[in-house]
Amino acid sequence: MTTIYNFSAGPAVLPKEVLQQAAAEMLDWHGSGMSVMEMSHRGPEFMSILAAAQSDLRELLAVPDNYKILFLQGGGLGENAIVPMNLMGRKPQPATADFVHTGSWTGKSIKEAKKYGKVNIAASGEAGGYTCVPARDSWKLTPDAAYVHLCTNETIDGVEYQFAPDVASETGGAPIVADMSSHILSRVIDVSRYGVIFGGAQKNIGPAGLTIVIVREDLLGHALPICPSAFDWKIVADNDSMYNTPPTYAIYIAGLVFQWLKQQGGVAAMEQKNIAKSSLLYDYLDSTDFYENRVEKGSRSRMNVPFYLKDENLNAAFLAEAKANGLLQLKGHKSVGGMRASIYNAMPIEGVQALVSFMQDFAKRNS
The residue (of 142 and 202) whose beta carbon lies closer to ligand PMP is 202
Site for ligand PMP in 176-205 (CB under 6 A): 179, 181-182, 200
Burial of 257 (0-12, 13-18, 19+ CB in 10 A): buried
Q: Any catalytic annotation for residue 105? A: yes
Contact status: 233 vs ligand PMP (CB under 6 A): no
Contact status: 50 vs ligand PMP (CB under 6 A): no
Q: Is 155 among the annotated ligand-binding positions?
A: yes
The closest of 256, 250, 220, 257 to 235, measured between CA atoms, is 220
The closest of 93, 216, 196 to 148, measured between CA atoms, is 196
**Local structure of 246: helix, strand or coil:** coil
Q: Which of 56, 98, 179, 232 is catalytic?
A: 179
Q: Which of 29, 68, 139, 203 is catalytic?
A: 203
What's the closest the beta carbon of residue 190 comes to ligand PMP, in angstroms? 20
Contact status: 157 vs ligand PMP (CB under 6 A): no
Contact status: 76 vs ligand PMP (CB under 6 A): yes
Contact status: 242 vs ligand PMP (CB under 6 A): no
Q: Which part of the chain contacts ligand PMP (CB under 6 A), choosing from 21-29, 74-82, 127-135, 343-351?
A: 74-82
Q: Any catalytic annotation for residue 28? A: no
Q: Is 190 among the annotated ligand-binding positions?
A: no
What's the closest the beta carbon of residue 211 comes to ligand PMP, in angstroms? 7
- Put the strands of the sheet holding 176-179 in their side by side order: 67-72, 211-216, 196-200, 176-179, 147-151, 96-101, 118-124
Amino acid at 362: F
Amino acid at 180: M
With vertex at residue 167, the alpha carbon angle to CA 89 and CA 131, rounded to the nearest 5 degrees, is 105
Contact status: 151 vs ligand PMP (CB under 6 A): yes
Site for ligand PMP in 5-34 (CB under 6 A): 10
Interaction pattern, residues 100-119, with ligand PMP; x per rule: CB under 6 A: -----x--------------
- The half-sphere exposure of 243 on its side-chain side, counting CA atoms within 13 A, is 17
- Helix-, strand-, coil-residue percentages of the chain, each rounded to 5: 45, 15, 40
Q: Any catalytic annotation for residue 179? A: yes
Binding-site residues from annotation for pyridoxal 5'-phosphate: 105, 155, 179, 202, 244-245
